[in-house]
Structure 1
Amino acid sequence: MAHDSGPAAVRHGQRTSGWLTFAGTLAVVIGAFNIIDGLVALFNDDYYLVGDNRIMVFDFTAWGWFWLFLGIIQVAVGAGIVAGKMWARATGVFFAVLAAIGHLAFLQAFPLWSVLTIAMCVLLIYALTAPPAGSRG
């Protein structure tokens, strides 16, 4: 009598990782936050703390487009991570670093939101780099 050898992922030789599922979900959440940041920067400049509409080099309109495009890409990458795509893991690390640096520059405009997003980006980078090699979400 044959016994079931375990979950389908084990039978196909790939290990599943809860960290990658968490990372994919977190990438979608960070992407959604960045989309919200972008839409607010585009449609309501008075929402942010900086009064002269200048943060580092760009104005709120430029930052709005940056956050909007970055958020859309991060949502797509998050879906790829959950689907177990290796390209999405590498791309997710790159865009998490880019978002953390961007929020560091955006810190003066909205400090609490930026600090929260930077912390989530660091957690996302860890979740994407910690799982065993070859594991899927």
Structure 2
Amino acid sequence: MSDTQEKRGYTADGPYETPTRARSGWTGFVVFGGIMLVMLGSFQAIEGFVALFKEDQYLVTRNGLTLTMDYTSWGWTHLFLGLAAIAIGIGVLLGQMWARVLGIVVAVLSALANIAFLPAYPIWCVIVIATDILVIYALAVHGDEVQGP
């Protein structure tokens, strides 16, 4: 059966097109969420590399962090979250359900990691946390408007 025959049906009045799901304006918001996951993942990875290779860049002593961990541990945490967010953001852009679920999980973990990292860079962390909240909203409420293949 050809591609056009699969999309058409017949009634007593003649052929009709099978209705397709209309995309709303919220689709762009979900795409925004996917792009932000990729971008935030990149930023998290950079933050992780800085913590791993240039500890003196941070202006707070290790004891000033909310959780007592060295910068190497935080570097690996941010690097892992960053790489996961990049992969999941690509999945969200492709409309995959697993990526929506994992995107919400990664955004929550990213927000929690940045809460603990607030003493080192408060303004940056607040921006990342706010963006994580927008991503969570986009994926949880309107994520089904971007469908995969």
State the TM-score, normalizing by the size of structure 1.
Answer: 0.85
Unaligned runs of 5+ in 2: 1-13
1:125 lines up with 2:143 in the alignment: no
Aligned residues of 1:54 and 1:60 also touching (Cα < 8 A): no
Say which structure, 1 or 2, has more relative contact order (CA 8 Å, 6+ apart): 1
Q: How many aligned residue pairs are there?
A: 131
Larger Rg: 2
> Which residue number corresponds to residue 25 of structure 1?
35
CA contact (8 A) 1:103 1:118 kept: yes
In 1, are the aligned partners of 2:58 and 2:120 still within 8 Å (CA)? yes
**2:92 corresponds to:** 81
Alignment partner of 1:91 is 2:102:
yes
Matches within 5 A, 1:44-83: 44-52=54-62, 55=65, 56-83=67-94
State the distance in 2 between where 1:14 and 1:62 align: 46
8 Å contact kept, 1:106–1:114? yes
For the 8 Å contact 1:45–1:53, the answer to whether it is kept is no
Q: For residue 106 of structure 1, what is the aligned residue in structure 2?
A: 117
Could you say what secondary structure the match of 2:59 adopts? coil
Partner amino acid, structure 2, of 1:23: G
Change (3 A) 1:52 1:125: closer
Unaligned runs of 5+ in 1: none
Identity of aligned residues (%): 42
